[in-house]
């Protein structure tokens, strides 16, 4: 039986009121206006801000931040406007690759750092990235749109650039989930197919998250 004397609901209302207090709303408005005026709004936050959305915040804390290391080199595939790139700037070197020059141009507007190398690729390669140099490879909201033949080609090419113990974290479409089936922009992939590609390409699956997101999954894998 629920405890009717719980303070939970009144506390939640109070917390919401505090968040909407006039000084806080004013601060938020000033911050947003400043970003808009300087053209610094991050393209991609409309899909969810990892600072605010609980599921993304969880994935950031589990699959991204623990791996950031100033003695390591990293690579991101499909950075968009830099929604996740901003968390990867603490690596020694960060390569970002994207197939679309316009998206890379958008990234340059919002993310500036001396350790970034921006690369326009052919849709599945890593031109200029030294062999066996990458300690951490990350991609979010990009492979969800790639068909399995392209994902396979990417993983084949990844084998050349990641270090044997380097961690690869890929977010992919899972058509086993109703929310992916309803999204025509999501590719025809699922957990079983993704596991098969990872293993066929010589990687070992280390960890996967099949529950946090309603339309997709996250896999972490290494070569050794």
Contact residues for ligand SAM, defined by CB under 6 A:
44, 77-80, 83-84, 97-100, 103, 123, 140-142, 146
* Residue with smaller CB distance to ligand SAM, 107 or 198: 107
Q: Is 123 left (phi over 0), alpha (psi -120 to 50) or beta?
A: left
**Shortest separation between residue 62's beta carbon and ligand SAM, angstroms:** 16
Least distance (Å) between residue 103 CB and ligand SAM: 4
Cβ-defined contacts of 147-154 (< 8 Å, 24+) = 147/187, 147/188, 147/189, 148/187, 148/188, 148/189, 148/193, 148/197, 150/123, 150/124, 151/187, 151/189, 151/194, 151/197, 152/197, 152/200, 152/201, 153/124, 154/77, 154/124
Shortest Å, Cβ 204 to ligand SAM: 24
Residue nearest to ligand SAM (CB): 80
Nearer to ligand SAM, 18 or 174 (CB): 174
Instruction: Please say which residue, 20 or 100, places its beta carbon nearer to ligand SAM.
Output: 100
What is d(CA 184, CA 113) in angstroms, rounded to the nearest whole number? 36
For the CB of residue 131, give the shortest distance to ligand SAM in the complex, in Å: 20
Cβ 78 to ligand SAM shortest distance, Å:
3
Which of residues 78 and 166 has its CB atom nearest to ligand SAM in the complex? 78
């Amino acid at each position: 039986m629920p405890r009717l004397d719980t303070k939970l609901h009144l506390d939640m209302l109070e917390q919401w009121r505090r968040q909407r207090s006039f000084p806080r709303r004013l601060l938020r408005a000033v911050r947003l206006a400043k970003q808009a005026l300087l053209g610094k709004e991050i393209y991609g936050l409309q899909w969810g801000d990892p600072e605010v959305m609980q599921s993304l915040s969880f994935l950031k804390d589990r699959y991204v931040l623990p791996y950031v290391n100033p003695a390591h080199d990293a690579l991101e595939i499909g950075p968009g406007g830099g929604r996740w790139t901003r968390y990867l700037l603490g690596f020694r070197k960060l390569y970002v690759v994207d197939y679309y020059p316009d998206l890379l141009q958008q990234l340059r507007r919002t993310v500036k750092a001396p350790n970034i190398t921006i690369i326009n690729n052919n849709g599945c390669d890593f031109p200029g990235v030294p062999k066996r140099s990458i300690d951490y490879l990350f991609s979010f909201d990009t492979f969800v749109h790639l068909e399995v033949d392209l994902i396979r080609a990417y993983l084949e090419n990844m084998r050349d650039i990641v270090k044997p113990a380097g961690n690869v974290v890929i977010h992919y479409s899972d058509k086993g989930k109703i929310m992916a089936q309803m999204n025509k922009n999501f590719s025809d992939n699922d957990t079983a197919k993704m596991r098969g590609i990872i293993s066929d390409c010589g990687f070992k699956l280390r960890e996967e998250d099949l529950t946090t997101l309603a339309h997709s999954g996250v896999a972490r894998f290494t070569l050794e």
